[in-house]
Amino acid sequence: MEEKIKTLDEIQAGDEVVHDGGGGFSNKRKLVKVDRTTATQIIIGDERFNRDGGYLRGSTGYHRTRIFVPNAKAREEVLVEMKRDAVDTALFRLGSAKRTLSEEVCDLILQAYDLHRGKK
C-alpha cells in the first residue's frame, strides 16, 4: 500500500520535508525533519517557513529558500544529491591530505572511480 503524500498543511513535528536552498551557488537540497509547527508556520532549526507555499518567512526575490513535501521520486533524487555533496566535500578535504593517504585508501578511491567510469 502506497503512503498518502501529505501537504504542508498536514505536516507535524518529526515529519520529513525537503529543504530547498533556493538557487544560486549554494543551492543544496536536503532532507530535514520538522522541529515544530504552529497554525501558520513550520519550524526547522532557527528557520520559520510559511505553511502556505513553504517559503522562508521574510525571504523575497528570485532565489527563495523553501520547503516541500517530497514524493518517493523526489526523496530518492535528494538522497542522491546529498551523497554527491558528501563525496564532493570529502574529496575537497582529502586534497590537503592526499600525500598521507594509505595505499588501501588510494585503492578504494580508484576502485570507486573505475566503477563510476564503467570499468571493472
Element (H, E) at 17: strand 16-20
Q: Domain residues for 99?
A: 72-120
Please count the structural domains in the chain.
2
The three cell numbers of residue 3 are 503512503
Whether the CB-CB separation of 115 and 107 falls below 8 Å is answered with no
Residue 1 has pLDDT above 50, yes or no: no
Residue ranges of alpha helices (H) inside the chain are 72-94, 103-117
Residue 113 has pLDDT above 50, yes or no: yes
pLDDT in tens, 38-73: 999 999 999 999 999 999 998 777 778 899 999 999
Residue 2 has pLDDT above 60, yes or no: no
Are 84 and 66 contained in the same domain? Answer: no
* pLDDT (0 to 100) of residue 24: 61
42: left (phi over 0), alpha (psi -120 to 50) or beta: beta
Q: What percent of the chain has pLDDT over 90?
A: 42
Residue 13 has pLDDT above 90, yes or no: yes
Are 80 and 56 contained in the same domain? Answer: no
Q: What percent of the chain has pLDDT over 70?
A: 88
Are 33 and 61 contained in the same domain? Answer: yes
pTM of the complete model: 0.74
Contacts of 114 (CB under 8 A, 6+ apart): 120
Residue 79 has pLDDT above 80, yes or no: yes
What's the half-sphere exposure (Cβ side, CA atoms, 13 Å) at 109?
A: 13
The whole-chain average pLDDT of the chain stands at: 84
Q: What is the rounded average pLDDT of the residues 101-110? A: 82
Are 76 and 25 contained in the same domain? Answer: no
Are 64 and 80 contained in the same domain? Answer: no
In whole angstroms, give the CA distance from residue 43 to residue 20: 14
Are 86 and 110 contained in the same domain? Answer: yes
3-state secondary structure of 101: coil
Closest-CA residue to 31 (of 95, 1, 62, 74): 74
Are 108 and 55 contained in the same domain? Answer: no
Are 88 and 39 contained in the same domain? Answer: no
In whole angstroms, give the CA distance from residue 19 to residue 78: 10
Are 107 and 55 contained in the same domain? Answer: no
